[in-house]
Chains A and B, each alone.
Chain A
Amino acid sequence: MQRTPVSSSTIAEVGYDSGSMTLEIAFHSGGTYQYFDVPESEFEGLMQASSKGQYFHANIKDNYRYGKL
Chain B
Amino acid sequence: MPNKPTLLGTVQDVQGATISVAMDKDTISGLSFIEGRGYRVGQIGSFVRIPIGFLDLYGIVSQVGAGAVPDSMIEAEPHGYRWMRIQLIGEGQRGGNFKRGVSYYPTIGDEAHLLTEQDLALIYGRADAPNYVRVGTLASAESIPALVDVDRLVTRHSAILGATGAGKSTTVAGILSHLSNTDRYPSSRIIIFDLHGEYNSALGERATLFRVNPNLEKGERPLQIPYWALQLDEFLGVTPFRDVGDTERTGLIEKINELKRASLVACPRVGVTSDTLTVDSPVPFSIHRLWYELYQFVCSTHTAQGANQGPTTEAIEADPQGNPLLGSIMGVQAPKYKPITSGGVGRIYLSGASLNIRRQIQALQSLLRDTRYDFLFRPGEWCPSPNQNNLDAQPQKDLDALIKGWVGGDKPITILDLSGVPASILMDLIGVLIRLLFDAMVWGRFLPVGARSRPLLFVLEEAHAYLNPGNKSLASQAAKRVVKEGRKYGLGAMIVSQRPSEIDSTILSQCGTMFAMRLANSNDRAHVTGTVSDNLEGLFSMLPALRTGEAIIVGEAVQLPLRAQIDAPPPNRRPDSHDPKIFDPKAVVGWNKPKANEDYSLLVQKWRSETP
Q: Which residue of A lies closest to B298 (CB)?
A: A65
Are the CB atoms of A63 and B340 closer together than 8 Å? Answer: yes
What mask results when residues 437 to 460 of chain B are scored 1 for a CB within 8 Å of chain A, else 0? 000000000000000000000000
Complex CA distance for A21 and B360, rounded to whole angstroms:
12
Q: Which residue of B lies closest to A58 (CB)?
A: B342
Find chain B residues with CB under 8 A from A29 CB. none
Find chain B residues with CB under 8 A from A34 CB. 356
Complex CA distance for A68 and B353, rounded to whole angstroms:
11
Measured as residues with beta carbon below 8 angstroms from the partner, the interface class of chain A is: 10 to 19
Are the CB atoms of B340 and A62 closer together than 8 Å? Answer: yes
- The interface centre, meaning the residue of A63, A65, A68 with most chain B CB atoms within 10 A of its CB, is A65
Nearest-neighbour CB distance to chain B for A1, whole angstroms, equals 11
Find chain A residues with CB under 8 A from B356 CB. 20, 22, 34, 36-37, 65, 67
Nearest-neighbour CB distance to chain B for A60, whole angstroms, equals 12
Are the CB atoms of A68 and B354 closer together than 8 Å? Answer: yes
Complex CA distance for A62 and B359, rounded to whole angstroms:
19
B609 contacts chain A at the CB level, 8 A cutoff? no
What mask results when residues 344 to 356 of chain B are scored 1 for a CB within 8 Å of chain A, else 0? 0000011111111
Find chain A residues with CB under 8 A from B247 CB. 67
What mask results when residues 31 to 53 of chain A are scored 1 for a CB within 8 Å of chain B, else 0? 00010110000000000000000
Nearest-neighbour CB distance to chain B for A14, whole angstroms, equals 17
Are the CB atoms of A65 and B359 closer together than 8 Å? Answer: no
Nearest-neighbour CB distance to chain B for A43, whole angstroms, equals 15
Nearest-neighbour CB distance to chain A for B355, whole angstroms, equals 7
Complex CA distance for A36 and B247, rounded to whole angstroms:
13
Find chain A residues with CB under 8 A from B298 CB. 65
Q: Which residue of A lies closest to B244 (CB)?
A: A20
Find chain B residues with CB under 8 A from A66 CB. 354
B578 contacts chain A at the CB level, 8 A cutoff? no
Interface residues of A in 10-35 (CB under 8 A from B): 20-22, 34
Are the CB atoms of B350 and A37 closer together than 8 Å? Answer: no
B358 contacts chain A at the CB level, 8 A cutoff? yes
Are the CB atoms of A62 and B342 closer together than 8 Å? Answer: yes
Are the CB atoms of A67 and B355 closer together than 8 Å? Answer: yes
Are the CB atoms of A62 and B349 closer together than 8 Å? Answer: yes
Nearest-neighbour CB distance to chain B for A67, whole angstroms, equals 3
Are the CB atoms of B349 and A36 closer together than 8 Å? Answer: no
Are the CB atoms of A65 and B353 closer together than 8 Å? Answer: yes
Nearest-neighbour CB distance to chain B for A22, whole angstroms, equals 6
Are the CB atoms of A37 and B354 closer together than 8 Å? Answer: no
Chain B interface helix/strand/loop/mixed = loop
Q: Which residue of A lies closest to B354 (CB)?
A: A67
- The interface centre, meaning the residue of B247, B352, B353, B356 with most chain A CB atoms within 10 A of its CB, is B356
Q: Which residue of B lies closest to A67 (CB)?
A: B354
Complex CA distance for A68 and B354, rounded to whole angstroms:
8
Find chain A residues with CB under 8 A from B355 CB. 67
Chain A interface helix/strand/loop/mixed = loop
Are the CB atoms of B359 and A21 closer together than 8 Å? Answer: yes
Find chain B residues with CB under 8 A from A22 CB. 356
Are the CB atoms of B342 and A37 closer together than 8 Å? Answer: no
Complex CA distance for A21 and B356, rounded to whole angstroms:
9
Nearest-neighbour CB distance to chain B for A57, whole angstroms, equals 11
Interface residues of B in 348-395 (CB under 8 A from A): 349-356, 358-359
Nearest-neighbour CB distance to chain A for B338, whole angstroms, equals 15
Complex CA distance for A38 and B489, rounded to whole angstroms:
53
Find chain B residues with CB under 8 A from A65 CB. 298, 350-354, 356, 358
Find chain A residues with CB under 8 A from B359 CB. 20-21, 37
Q: Which residue of B lies closest to A22 (CB)?
A: B356
Are the CB atoms of B340 and A36 closer together than 8 Å? Answer: no
Find chain A residues with CB under 8 A from B340 CB. 62-63
Q: Which residue of B lies closest to A69 (CB)?
A: B247
Interface residues of B in 297-352 (CB under 8 A from A): 298, 340, 342, 349-352
- The interface centre, meaning the residue of A21, A34, A62, A68 with most chain B CB atoms within 10 A of its CB, is A62
Find chain A residues with CB under 8 A from B358 CB. 36-37, 65
Nearest-neighbour CB distance to chain A for B267, whole angstroms, equals 35
Which listed residue (A20, A62, A68) contacts B350, Cβ 8 A? Answer: A62
Complex CA distance for A62 and B298, rounded to whole angstroms:
14
Nearest-neighbour CB distance to chain B for A55, whole angstroms, equals 15
Are the CB atoms of A64 and B354 closer together than 8 Å? Answer: no
Complex CA distance for A65 and B298, rounded to whole angstroms:
9
Find chain B residues with CB under 8 A from A62 CB. 340, 342, 349-350
Find chain B residues with CB under 8 A from A67 CB. 247, 354-356
Find chain B residues with CB under 8 A from A37 CB. 356, 358-359
- The interface centre, meaning the residue of A22, A66, A67 with most chain B CB atoms within 10 A of its CB, is A67
Nearest-neighbour CB distance to chain A for B466, whole angstroms, equals 28
Find chain A residues with CB under 8 A from B351 CB. 65
Complex CA distance for A36 and B352, rounded to whole angstroms:
11
Find chain B residues with CB under 8 A from A36 CB. 356, 358
Are the CB atoms of A63 and B354 closer together than 8 Å? Answer: no
What mask results when residues 23 to 52 of chain B are scored 1 for a CB within 8 Å of chain A, else 0? 000000000000000000000000000000
Find chain A residues with CB under 8 A from B352 CB. 65
Nearest-neighbour CB distance to chain B for A9, whole angstroms, equals 23
Find chain B residues with CB under 8 A from A20 CB. 356, 359
Residues of A within 8 A of B (CB): 20-22, 34, 36-37, 62-68
- List 9 A-B pairs, minimum CB-CB distance, nearest first: A67-B354, A36-B356, A65-B350, A37-B358, A65-B351, A22-B356, A65-B353, A36-B358, A20-B356
Further pairs besides A63-B340, A64-B350, A65-B354: 12, Cβ < 8 Å: A22-B356, A34-B356, A36-B358, A37-B356, A37-B358, A62-B340, A63-B350, A65-B298, A65-B350, A65-B351, A65-B352, A67-B356
Of the A-B pairs whose beta carbons lie under 8 Å apart in the complex, a sample of 15, sorted by A's number, is A21-B359, A36-B358, A37-B356, A62-B340, A62-B342, A62-B349, A63-B350, A64-B350, A65-B298, A65-B350, A65-B351, A65-B352, A65-B358, A66-B354, A68-B354
